[in-house]
Structure 1
Amino acid sequence: MRDIALAVIGGTGLYKLADLRDVQAHEPDTRFGRASGPVRVGMLGGHRVAFLARHGEGHSVPPHRINYRANLAALQALGATRVLALNTVGGITERFGPRVLACPDQLIDYTWGRVSTLCEEPGTDVLHVDFGEPYTASLRADVVAAAVSAGVPLVDGGCYGATQGPRLETRAEIARMRRDGCDLVGMTGMPEAGLAREMGLDYACLAIVANWAAGAGPQVDEVITLQDVLDNVEAASAHLPALLGALLDRWSEGAQ
């Protein structure tokens, strides 16, 4: 199999890449079990790209039950070295309202009970990876530069707070997260980012803001509905083809 230029992991509301052509489905076995669903590998603008729906293509796997290790291992087994994680999130601070795209540079993990390391099984090597900068700086820079060249509005930076889910957060929890320095809240940012670092994968997050987090928007008593989330994700995702195309072209042109 030829090298995969980019692996994309889709979150809530993002279950396929519509522009992917000549698609083949792969379901590699990994030492961690099976991934959330098939990895669909095809061509996007002349580049080989892999796509995996994090929650399954029918959104059947809740955040705390995702086999994050198997998902990343499956992508790596197919030849991926760069992973762009699409995460549907809520906005906490003013710059991160609904339909905003952001490429965060920091992360706080509030999850619990998830298998969060390759070192889980007895006898495996103990890894103490550096995680001070949780996203690969070079990949982040490429995503930001691609957005600029494609004319796609993107917030550069921000702190992603990863919560357990699948329920949404209380207003008090969001207020606490704001005090902690979080700009965004989602349920799948960890352990995915940490595992990618342990596996030696370049990894960055493209956060798609679907709603204001509880109590964070102009209407503090606003009720968040799934339909609002999906509508906002669909609208923001309209920028994805241009951004991904510019990112892939950047690499093929050897831009630094």
Structure 2
Amino acid sequence: MSKTKIGVIGGSGIYEIDGLQNPKWQQVESPWGTASDELLTGELDGVEMVFLPRHGRGHVHAPSDVPYRANIDALKRLGVTDVISVSACGSFRDAMAPGHFVIVDQFIDRTRQRASSFFSSGCVGHVSLAHPTCPRLSAACAEAARAEGITVHEGGTYLAMEGPQFSTLAESRMYRESWGADVIGMTNMPEAKLAREAELCYASVAMITDYDSWHPDHGEVDVTDIIKTLMGNSAQAKGMVARLPQLLGETRDACPHGCDRALECAILTAPDARDPVLVGKLDAVAGRVLR
């Protein structure tokens, strides 16, 4: 049994958590660089919460430039146990319409310019990503969203593209028809991979803003239309987040799906062959198994 501490990574249009008690913005030092912004800490319904604006306040970080490793490391250093990622996405399904939320349970990673692991030569680690999100945490997000009156789809495959450009029509059709993706975004990878390496429960909530470019009745993606939908989604997302403390409770047992024990058998490098500099950088992320 341990204390619950909820971390929320807010995407486009979400730059704070409403109703936090004792709110405080603070910088967290990380050996992986500077996080996207200061982190907002506080309490909601007796549960500690941490908020991190993924793109920084004012939306200053492009998807490829978000410091993903520093962000996850900073959340871990603050004692976060459960991470909820909220992000704007396009949809490949008629039924997943703008204004709906999708609780993502799978990913296809098409990013190529981002460091995607805390581990490397000198300390090699391999975690399982067969099920990259936490079912327990995802279920809580779905319940909170439904209580907020949001149309929710439980389960969906998120295609993570590099960006910052939107898809070509050929790409959009391929992702939808051949690859079976349901939503498309630019930020959940490598975020989900890094959360698993940091032994954090991770849930991804995709807020649908558009139909990408495949839909014959909607044409190409228009940022003006996206922003209009995004504003409504953001208000609903804040309401969803506000319901999570009561659903998750002040204390938590070990994750029944093993997210908090992902590194149990993951480190392959022998102790006497490990790079002490890299091991030092891994103190928060993997200290539990490296000490």
- The 2-side partners of 1:35 and 1:245 are apart by 24
Indicate the residue corresponding to 2:194 in structure 1: 195
Secondary structure of the corresponding residue to residue 23 of structure 1: strand
Change (3 A) 1:64 1:246: same
Larger radius of gyration: 2
Residue by residue over 1:42-82, the C-alpha shift from the partner in whole angstroms, topping out at 9 and shown as x without a partner, is: 22333321111111111111111111000011111111011
Indicate the residue corresponding to 1:10 in structure 2: 10
- The 2-side partners of 1:239 and 1:22 are apart by 23
1:238 matched to 2:230:
no
**Contact 1:161/1:185 (<8 A) preserved:** yes
Change (3 A) 1:253 1:199: closer
Unpaired segments of 5 or more residues in structure 1?
none
Indicate the residue corresponding to 1:135 in structure 2: 133
1:33 matched to 2:33:
yes
Secondary structure of the corresponding residue to residue 52 of structure 2: strand
Indicate the residue corresponding to 1:59 in structure 2: 59
Change (3 A) 1:254 1:118: closer
Indicate the residue corresponding to 2:248 in structure 1: 251
**Contact 1:152/1:242 (<8 A) preserved:** no
Instruction: Choose the corresponding residue for 2:160, options 151, 162, 166.
Output: 162
Mapping of residues 9-158 of structure 1, within 5 Å: 9-120=9-120, 122-123=121-122, 125-158=123-156
**Contact 2:18/2:242 (<8 A) preserved:** no
Unpaired segments of 5 or more residues in structure 2?
254-291
The number of residues matched between the two structures is 251
Secondary structure of the corresponding residue to residue 18 of structure 2: coil
- The 2-side partners of 1:13 and 1:148 are apart by 21
**Contact 2:100/2:150 (<8 A) preserved:** no
- The 2-side partners of 1:78 and 1:61 are apart by 22
- The 2-side partners of 1:30 and 1:214 are apart by 39
AA partner of residue 228 (structure 1): D
TM-score (norm 1): 0.91
Moved over 6 A (4+): 253-256
- The 1-side partners of 2:15 and 2:223 are apart by 16
1:168 deviates by: 0.8
RMSD: 2.1
